[in-house]
Structure 1
Amino acid sequence: MGPHALARRAAEALQATLREGVIAPGIPSRVLEGPDGGKMFGVLVVRQEDGRLGVLRAFSALLAGHWDVPGFVPPVFDREARARVEPVAEVTVKALRDRAEAWSTSEELRRLREDDDARQAREATEREALRQRHEARRQQRHLRRAQLLNTPNLTETTRAEALHALDQESRGDKAERRRWDAAQEAARQELAPRRAKAERRLRALDRLRRIVSRGFMKQLHDTYAITSARGETRPLRALYPHAEPPSGAGDCAGAKLLAYAFAHGLQPVALAEFWWGTPPASGGRIQGAFYPACRDKCGPLLPFLLEGLEVSAPRVFVPPPAPTPDLSILFEDAWLVIIDKPCGLLSVPGRDAALTDSVLTRLRARHPHATGPLLVHRLDLDTSGLLVAALDARTHSALQRQFLHRDVDKRYVALIDGPVQADKGTITLPIRVDLDDRPRQIVDPVHGKPAVTEWEVLGREAGRTRVAFHPRTGRTHQLRVHAAHPLGLGAPIVGDPLYGHADRRLFLHAETLSFVHPATGQRVAFTRAAPF
């Protein structure tokens, strides 16, 4: 997969320039380093009117605070229209932001919050102390009532008077709680409404800033007019009929390149976009790796831009020929099978009719009369190593429960494309699918699912690191994401086409597998050393 050979060569030439340390006069490549530094770049190979090929270059949004950088195509928006909107927008929004910031850090709001927090803390402490005191008294009364009822030599009058006194004590506790509640409500009414009013003011300032910002964003989006390959021009907002365009729409490298080519009578031939600089906080971007256009910003935009242009059909994934004619069976009995899956073989058939060959397909051909086989877990196409399949539904359910309850021990071996400084550790980075670029996964602390990986270094060799992974959860691409992310190992697995750079194979292998055999109750362990 990957870009066309012409676009790849053009991209590699730009990457060589970036690697030299200077993007343009006065703009060093180090501006792309740091927490906010990385950026998407794009190249477009074009055919000029005289038939010769040329190359256009672009970057997403701004570069070092500049829309215009020598050697790169300009932005799409109307400069004069934007100049009438942007300065006013920046001043107005900044003033609203400053007002909200000033109030959020004001002495009045700070004091109200502290006083009300202190009141709530006192109330909670006093409530618990009062509850414990009343509970102790209640238990004492309970014992005294039992003694009164079980003392035979008391007169009925004496017993009745004593029980009445206990009832009066109970009523006294309830009256004390009512008085305490009333006192707390009075204190609450003195502070809580004042704090609530102050908090409402802060929310109102934030809401006003957002409303004004959205209004200015609409005006900024109206400075973009998009012209397709057939020459039809539409306002940017018309291309997003169901919602406002997302921030940055029209500023992606691909959109800039195509718009410039059509405006100057150039025929697009091949396009490629790649990341350069520090990866984003979510991960999923490696310097020098190629990525498709994003869906939220470019999904509605690029199809319109390309209308009227002859475009190659999307390339469909077709796996390479299966590496082995037969499955490598490590263990087999009446209940389960342990397979050593080769790199390049699917675990289960794909949705496409051409993707039928898989471990499961071959197992079913091997056991045509079994109620199974059923795979208990899966390995990525590019990952090799141990898989367990059940030959009946009961064994399958029992093994799945062990995976669910994390009673299965798994160890993977990988070759990391770079040095790993520490010797061992645990990575806890939550993961979710990248909605703009399936099946790639990204780190998302808010919406991601918990993912935990323990790891240890096995060896260091020629700038690469051999690592053992012990996944404690089973998220999609978990080990690959945890390796590549800056907060993980900080370097991708060698040969990872999604999170690093393609090689002859993905150097990731499921080496050991241990679990309790559902039929015998004995713990079993299997090992197949990594083939690299």
Structure 2
Amino acid sequence: MDPLVTALEPAPRADEVPGAFPSPFDAVGPHALARRAAESLKATLREGVIAPGLDSDVLQGPDGGKMFGVLVVRRPNGTFGVLRAFSAMLAGRWDVPGFVPPVFDREARARVEPVADATVKALLARAEAWSASEELRRLREDDDARQAREAAEREAMRLRHEARRRQRHERRAAILAMQRRTETERAQAPHALNQEPTAHALTETERAQAPHALNQEEPTAHALTEAERAQALHALDQESRGDKAEKRRWDAAQEEARRQLAPARAKAERRVRALDRLRRIVSRGFMKQFHDTYAITNARGETRPLRSLYGGAEPPSGAGDCAGAKLLAHAFAHGLQPVALAEFWWGTPPASGGRIQGAFYPACRDKCGPLLPFMLEGLEVSAPRVFVPPPAPTPELSIVFEDAWLVVIDKPCGLLSVPGRDASLLDSVLTRLRSRYPHATGPLLAHRLDLDTSGLLVAALDSRTHASLQRQFLHRDVAKRYVALIDGPVQGDSGTITLPLRVDLDDRPRQIVDPVHGKPAVTDWEVLRREAGHTRVAFHPRTGRTHQLRVHAAHPQGLGAPIVGDPLYGHAGLRLHLHAETLSFMHPATGQRVSFTRAAPF
């Protein structure tokens, strides 16, 4: 009898055993039998022990948590048991007592791994040594100092030239004003010449004082001759050319300094990148050798190389090391019939978010999508269940406001904003609005709410109103306030969350945090009330990314706790406790600011 199979207590009744193996890609959740087996493992992890000498505290550190899996199996004698596994390595170990071993051929891996580790570590050490070298440090410091000095000098010169430019403008304006005044006086001179003596010409001393006089608040009382005016304007032009010449000389000097320092630094930086690129190339080569140590067997007893299951593409890193693959491989190798599988996360969430301790998750599409279907060939497998919304929660839409141009709706939880592609997903807010307003050129939704989110939605009844509302959403002129019940305590009373988001390509529609490829997502929040084990929070989203509030709540760099009832980022419940409470915008027809509020139903 396999010592890794633990008894499933109490023994399941016949009606508790699934007729076909539930799909590991089932998005609704694991089978009740597998869920019961998983809860037993969770209880052990809560006690702080993974195995003798290995505490579960290792899952709470900076390296983060781990996916665990359980597989309910039927022994040849008809009794039921449970296998346990973790993804990849645990605390740097492939083998942990009580958990199934890895899938790869140990002897084959032993021939590759030492050479691979030594080679990659040597390349990594070279890259790190050069990155920390005195030569590179000096080049970086000298070039950084040069850039800082250049920036400071550039700014000082800009300010200096700007001040001179203002002075020249004032002096030029004074000269031109004097010229206009002189011309006006000359136009009025015929009568005055018969009454008063002509103004005397400037003396040599007066001419010498003229430039200074032009800089005073009061213009000089004496007019400049045409030659003197031209000379003064020419002097101003010369000053302007002097500033430009100074800028050209300074630019040339900086270019010379850059030629002396920047190329040397760039060459050194290229060496760092080249060493890192070489390490990645070598690592990929060794990864192919690692993948060749995996022979995958299915329920019919057929065996194929791991790399052959990915359609000619290289398997992703970690392929074959997920908990589900380990469990099935061990069951087939020991004559055990798989009955039901469950995988869950335990420990600190990953940096990208999307995982909560204790929550169940389907098998990943990236690594396991091509792998598990082959392993399950020979078993009767249920089709993965997809979400089908419950019957419409209300027969009629709850209309908050309507006029000739738009309508505001209080959407209930469980009703789609727009119809889905599947025939079972046709009921939606938009479908019902089109039935209510059959003669309108709309209706057109200006925005959407998730299926599980309740609250205020605005729809336009004509295209012009729709375009105006969409512009307001685009320019963030629409004020939105959401209320949520958070499943746990929240540190602080208010703040702003800035975590960029993108879709998880391996697990749509789940969103993850990605500082490199994610789109900016910003949420302001404030605590409204602290309740027993929960926190009521108001959200003011500045952007409108998919699942933004749900991810920002659950992520450890956000609020650090999911919204109550969130099946994707927390724990499923009767409903998602997220409600769009307030909506405020400029009415496209009247130009007046309008605001609507509907209190949360929880």
- CA distance in 1 between partners of 2:582 and 2:294 (Å): 56
Task: Find the residue that maps to 2:424 and give its secondary structure.
Answer: coil
**1:93 matches 2:120:** yes
Shift of 1:123: 4.6
Shift of 1:166: 10
Aligned equivalent of 1:29, options 53, 56, 67: 56
Aligned equivalent of 1:234, options 283, 299, 304: 304
| CA separation of 1:363 and 1:180: change in aligned 2, threshold 3 A | closer
> What does residue 199 of structure 1 align with?
269
**Correspondences of 1:179-218 after superposition (within 5 Å):** 184-218=254-288
**Correspondences of 1:320-335 after superposition (within 5 Å):** 320-335=390-405
- CA distance in 2 between partners of 1:308 and 1:13 (Å): 29
- CA distance in 2 between partners of 1:170 and 1:242 (Å): 68
- CA distance in 2 between partners of 1:347 and 1:107 (Å): 60
Task: Find the residue that maps to 2:34 and give its secondary structure.
Answer: helix
**1:378 matches 2:448:** yes
RMSD: 3.0
Task: Find the residue that maps to 1:64 and give its secondary structure.
Answer: coil
What TM-score do the two structures reach when normalised by structure 2? 0.81
Contact map agreement 2:168 2:236 (CA 8 A) in 1: no
**1:5 matches 2:32:** yes
Contact map agreement 1:35 1:280 (CA 8 A) in 2: no
Contact map agreement 1:296 1:436 (CA 8 A) in 2: yes
Shift of 1:16: 1.2
**1:56 matches 2:56:** no
Shift of 1:324: 1.2
Shift of 1:242: 3.9
- CA distance in 1 between partners of 2:349 and 2:419 (Å): 34
Could you report, residue by residue, the CA deviation over 1:244-301 in whole angstroms, capped at 9, with x for unpaired residues?
Answer: 2221111110111111112222221211111011111111101111111112211221
- CA distance in 2 between partners of 1:166 and 1:364 (Å): 72
- CA distance in 2 between partners of 1:121 and 1:185 (Å): 14
Shift of 1:189: 3.9
| CA separation of 1:147 and 1:517: change in aligned 2, threshold 3 A | closer
Q: Which runs of 5+ in 2 are unaligned?
A: 1-27, 180-223
Contact map agreement 1:228 1:304 (CA 8 A) in 2: yes
> What does residue 105 of structure 1 align with?
132
Shift of 1:176: 7.1
> What does residue 291 of structure 1 align with?
361
> What does residue 376 of structure 2 align with?
306
> What does residue 451 of structure 1 align with?
521
Contact map agreement 1:415 1:467 (CA 8 A) in 2: yes
Shift of 1:209: 1.8
- CA distance in 1 between partners of 2:249 and 2:597 (Å): 71
Shift of 1:490: 1.0
| CA separation of 1:415 and 1:181: change in aligned 2, threshold 3 A | closer
Q: What amino acid maps onto 2:500 in structure 1? A: P
Q: Which runs of 5+ in 1 are unaligned?
A: none
Aligned equivalent of 2:324, options 254, 271, 287: 254
Could you report, residue by residue, the CA deviation over 1:158-217 in whole angstroms, capped at 9, with x for unpaired residues?
Answer: x99x97x99999998888777666655554444334333322322232222222222222
What TM-score do the two structures reach when normalised by structure 1? 0.91
Q: What amino acid maps onto 2:47 in structure 1? A: E
Task: Find the residue that maps to 1:354 and give its secondary structure.
Answer: helix
Contact map agreement 1:138 1:170 (CA 8 A) in 2: no
> What does residue 83 of structure 1 align with?
110
- CA distance in 2 between partners of 1:460 and 1:167 (Å): 70
- CA distance in 1 between partners of 2:406 and 2:537 (Å): 29
Larger displacement relative to structure 2 (172-181 or 262-271): 172-181
| CA separation of 1:397 and 1:153: change in aligned 2, threshold 3 A | closer
**Correspondences of 1:119-198 after superposition (within 5 Å):** 119-124=146-151, 154=227, 184-198=254-268
Shift of 1:39: 0.5
Shift of 1:422: 1.5
- CA distance in 1 between partners of 2:369 and 2:509 (Å): 16
| CA separation of 1:130 and 1:299: change in aligned 2, threshold 3 A | same
Contact map agreement 1:77 1:224 (CA 8 A) in 2: yes
Q: How many residues align?
A: 529
Contact map agreement 1:22 1:28 (CA 8 A) in 2: yes
> What does residue 19 of structure 1 align with?
46
Shift of 1:141: 12
Task: Find the residue that maps to 2:477 and give its secondary structure.
Answer: coil
Q: What amino acid maps onto 1:100 in structure 2? A: A
| CA separation of 1:231 and 1:335: change in aligned 2, threshold 3 A | same
Q: What amino acid maps onto 1:34 in structure 2? A: G
Q: What amino acid maps onto 1:53 in structure 2? A: F
Aligned equivalent of 1:499, options 569, 572, 580: 569
Contact map agreement 1:346 1:359 (CA 8 A) in 2: yes
